[in-house]
Amino acid sequence: MTEKTMRPSTYAIIEPEEASKLIYENVAQVGVEEISLLEGNGRILAEDIYAIGDMPPFDTTAVDGYALLWEDGIETRLIIGERTAGKVSDVTVVAGTAVRIMTGAPLPSGANSVIMVEDTSEDNKKLIVRKLPQASDNIRPTGQDLQAGQLVLKAGITLNAAELGLIATVNRPRFQAVRRPRIAIISTGDEIVEPGEVAAYGQIYDSNRFSLVAAVRNAGAEAVSLGIAPDTREGLKNLVERALAEYDGLVTSGGVSVGKLDLVKDLLEEMGTIHFGRVNLKPGKPLTFVTVEVDGKRKPVFGLPGFPVSSLVSFELFVRPALLKMGGFAELSRPVLQVRTEHVIKHSPERNEFVRAIVTSHYDPETSNYWYSARTTGAQTSSRLLSMLGANALLKLVPGSNEIAEGSIVSAILIEQI
Ligand code: AMP
Ligand code: MG
């Protein structure tokens, strides 16, 4: 890399769809690892899970009550024993008898019905039945919920409360899951200082790294903050090399524009393949995507722009889906809704503008349908992080005009639940 001067960028400006495609084609799932049940929440299952036995493994009762023979009708029965869950006494129900039984205890042999305690009373070892029992009442037969050999969960699903309960049910304390991508995050810039330190005149506090650590974690990946690189070739190179040696990918912010000290693109060009260096996007035009071969592995580097909103919006649109793919998630895209604008919105006539907005749902009693409206979060300058605050959507405003009329229908990418 030679001494740099300011010059217009020579990178072609590509469309957002093309950028997404290039990223999709050049990132891959990071691999699998064995994890334990308590580590499973939110992870992606990497093997098919089968039931090794039946569930329930024995005939059992769904209620607290008495195991009996339904054919005895409403006759009073002699109580000959008791079964509680987990403690199994040896007892057989015959005509005229009953066994006290608690939910989850195995059904004693001979019994063919369970009457719930609410329909009975006891009088000196005698059971008084107040409701005519029917065959099989309240019995959960062996294998009612799961049968031995049954496919319970397919590889590729996201593990949540129900899925983890099922894996435990089939006695799999450890299982294969997709490894979480480990992503390094670096801020760049001589003016950027660590919060908590004293910012001299001309300096500002690093905000991008903390936003990006949170955003990376929200995309199911592990985030490792590697600090702030100065605007020198050596300083930057050291941190980037360390990141690529130790982690699955790298997200940088700043230094990708056309300023004299915007060194990130030049350095990455030397180290790997630049797939694109500019996108027809506002905010986020200088977004850069690179892959670097390290020890036979191809690692992605996302060079995000420095302005906080540019960095977060380009992360949302391009890096998040990449990290989801690396982490094995099947669904990479956010839901998109058609929404009605609540006011006039000025926008770029040349670039695809992604406007931070608040989408609200409305119920229309006449049609019994919901419809959605959107208003922006105020001034949309790319430095104003407050424009992300409260936003649950990005409105995609395509080039062509510079203004969207009130009441227009536009696409809203939902970045939060509405
Ligand atoms: P750059 O692309 O490096 O020229 O940065 C563009 C703008 O974003 C400049 O005003 C930077 O000071 C600002 N900026 C860059 N990095 C960060 C950061 N980590 N946190 C907050 N602002 C930043
Ligand atoms: Mg900079």
Tokens 């960095």 correspond to 311
Percent of the chain's residues with pLDDT above 90: 96
Centre of ligand 1 to C-alpha 189, Å, is 7
Among residues 289, 258, 255, the alpha carbon closest in space to that of 272 is found at 289
Going from the Cα of 107 to the center of ligand 1, the distance in angstroms, rounded, reads: 70
Give phi and psi for 378, each to the nearest 5: 95, -160
What are the CA-CA distances from residue 129 to residues 64, 126, 411 (Å)?
14, 10, 64
Q: How far is ligand 1, taken at its centre, from the CA of residue 186, in Å?
A: 12
Share of the chain above pLDDT 70, in %: 99
Single pTM value for the model: 0.93
Compute the distance from residue 306 Cα to the ligand 2 centre, in Å.
6
How far does residue 308's CA lie from ligand 1's centre (Å)? 7
Tokens (6 digits) for 23: 């990223």
Each residue's pLDDT tens digit, 212-233: 999 999 999 999 999 999 999 9
The HSE-up count of residue 333 (CA atoms within 13 Å, CB side) is 9
Query: Given pLDDT bands bounded at 50, 70 and 90, which one contains residue 88?
Result: confident
Q: What is the pLDDT of residue 4?
A: 75
Residue ID of nearest Cα to ligand 1 atom 14: 306
The SS3 of residue 416 is: coil
SS3 category, 67: strand
- 166: Cβ contacts below 8 Å, ≥ 6 apart: 49, 152, 153
Ligand 1 binding residues, C-beta < 6 A: 187, 189, 191-192, 204, 206-209, 253-257, 259, 262, 305-308
What is the pLDDT at residue 3? 57
pLDDT tens figures, 383-396: 999 999 999 999 99
Choose which residue among 187, 256, 258, 307 to substitute to test ligand 1 binding: the one with the highest number of ligand atoms within 8 A of its C-beta: 307
Alpha-carbon distances, residue 15 vs 140, 167, 263, 323, 394 (angstroms)? 59, 44, 24, 20, 17
Residue of 253, 257, 278, 385 to test ligand 1 pocket, by largest number of atoms within 8 Å of CB: 253
Which residues, including other chains, have CB under 8 Å from residue 53's CB and lie 6 or more apart? 148, 170, 171
Cα distance between residue 244 and residue 231, in whole Å? 19
> Does the pLDDT of residue 7 top 90, yes or no?
no
* Nearest alpha carbon, ligand 1 atom 17: 306
pLDDT attached to residue 187:
98
Structural domains of the chain in order of their starting residue, each with its CATH number? 13-31+179-326 (3.40.980.10), 43-54+144-178 (3.90.105.10), 60-140 (2.170.190.11), 336-414 (2.40.340.10)
